[in-house]
Structure 1
């Protein structure tokens, strides 16, 4: 059981690292295409791959939704892929040069949003330890993205329209992650594929509507060759591998524990920017240590019930 829990942690960490890299990648892609058309292209390809994987893993019966909560699955897929894809990357585009770090930093609010949503939906009050770990982790993220001086964020600021879209994106992903708990009989593969496929319908409808209303242009085919490297990463790594790892991992350790790994996202985005030549301050190293400590403390706290159950004698007849 402990090995299974560690496997779940490793899967969630893999997803977080992949998404951390995705923000600098999207920073380059957004110079060539708007986030709405890019999201449609991205999840059009990702949905096809996800459904093919589900068919291979679980057969054609897993693709059928007779008598199941397909409306809820569509709503959650719309939140997770249309809502998140449109809002977070439109907010990143509006934030300009600092968009990659601003967007990834906003993802650090997702653990708190998930706990609050879980409390509101299920009436389950989070423990003080959970709030403490999230607070420590979030403080570490603030240290990292502010260069070691969180107070400077009040002076730098992010435009209100950008911040609003970024927050909506983070809330959309929190709701999608929490929504997996409403499908206990679905595997991580099935939840990923079905919600991506259903969410794609909302993405395409919204994208075509925005084009028809003149808010966004039709995608220029001439830009596709230059976009291919970024599209490949966002589809195969951030869109398929990361989403599968995320849903499989949360199936093991539960969403309220898995979401804490999202605080690794801005740390990864920052590390990519640092490798590109951005200097690292001592306060930022302290921030990374705070976030790492929060993950470790939360892990130790969550594994206590596992250790207790493992020490109890088996009740099975023998």
Structure 2
């Protein structure tokens, strides 16, 4: 690598920082926007619309890329079913049963669970500070789920089942990320992402058809706009921007958006739905973000 390339990689430009802020905004508001779409569309229908919109665009990204061999199909298919059929579906159903702010903070624990699964599957060590961060994050989740304020409107209510589903989603998506590392190293990130989305989408279709037949819903401009935003902006554009950042700035700097996303999400939830943020909620947020800082920061240092 040339000196110019090295300087570019380790001295992020103003444009790179602007891209990181944009990604934090795009991904940070995804759960509040999902909550908005769920006002008129049922969970499976919204999820299927999202990935049905994203799929054609994702395959545009793999034109000319490495092809996926047949022997890899079973693992990539299982990855898609895990990430979309379980992870994304659990998140959408969880958002139904939680306030947007609670769901946002619980989802912010995904990087923390990545540390756990990387230690188990990729044999990466977990330090004492990381273990402390994990405990703090779990304590924060408990406070967030119980400290939701006294809001009476349905969009701001949180149930234990809803919080548990969002937590299941965080666990599943974290494992999806760790497992995908092994596959993307062999077959390319864009290729694995596109084909795993195909299989996850196909797994959704029978259940979505059942839901559309049995659950009354109304197709509105808001619902369609939500599906378009989640499919194009969050899934396709967000992934493309993330991959660009990983190629142009150090991973430890690109990962800084993890700290901004929950802040953006909670602010958006408060503005869109009037979520009341009680003292326990605020304390829980501080514990989750503190746990995230301990796990991710220590991991960066050992990897340097």
- TM bucket, shorter chain: 0.7 to 0.9
Whole-angstrom distance in 2 between the partners of 1:231 and 1:154:
29
Whole-angstrom distance in 2 between the partners of 1:52 and 1:253:
26
TM-score, length basis structure 1: 0.70
Change beyond 3 A, Cα 1:107–1:82: same
Query: Equivalent residue for 1:199?
Result: 200
Instruction: Name the SS for the 2:186 alignment partner.
Output: coil
Whole-angstrom distance in 2 between the partners of 1:262 and 1:244:
17
Query: Equivalent residue for 1:302?
Result: 300
TM-score, length basis structure 2: 0.73
Q: 1:20 aligns with which of 28, 42, 65?
A: 28
Whole-angstrom distance in 2 between the partners of 1:36 and 1:28:
15
Change beyond 3 A, Cα 1:94–1:236: same
Q: 2:225 aligns with which of 213, 224, 229?
A: 229
Whole-angstrom distance in 2 between the partners of 1:24 and 1:54:
30
Report how far residue 3 of structure 1 moved.
4.7
Instruction: Name the SS for the 2:97 alignment partner.
Output: helix
Q: 1:265 aligns with which of 261, 264, 272?
A: 261
Question: For residues 223-246 of structure 1, what are the alpha-carbon distances to aligned partners after superposition, in whole Å with 9 as ceiling and x for unaligned?
Answer: 143423222211211121123344
Report how far residue 208 of structure 1 moved.
2.7
Change beyond 3 A, Cα 1:153–1:271: closer
Question: For residues 36-88 of structure 1, what are the alpha-carbon distances to aligned partners after superposition, in whole Å with 9 as ceiling and x for unaligned?
Answer: 00111110110111011211xxx1x63x4224422111111222223222111
Q: Which runs of 5+ in 1 are unaligned?
A: 307-318
Whole-angstrom distance in 1 between the partners of 2:8 and 2:140:
28
User: How do residues 110-125 of structure 1 correspond to structure 2 at under 5 angstroms?
Assistant: 110-125=110-125
Whole-angstrom distance in 2 between the partners of 1:80 and 1:295:
25
Query: Equivalent residue for 2:68?
Result: 65
Query: Equivalent residue for 2:154?
Result: none
User: How do residues 24-173 of structure 1 correspond to structure 2 at under 5 angstroms?
Assistant: 24-55=32-63, 59=64, 62=66, 64-95=67-98, 98=99, 100-131=100-131, 138=137, 152=147, 158-173=158-173
8 Å contact kept, 2:140–2:284: no
Whole-angstrom distance in 2 between the partners of 1:51 and 1:204:
19
**Bigger Cα displacement from structure 2, 22-31 vs 292-301:** 292-301
Change beyond 3 A, Cα 1:211–1:232: closer
Change beyond 3 A, Cα 1:5–1:121: farther
8 Å contact kept, 1:118–1:124: yes
Change beyond 3 A, Cα 1:241–1:86: same
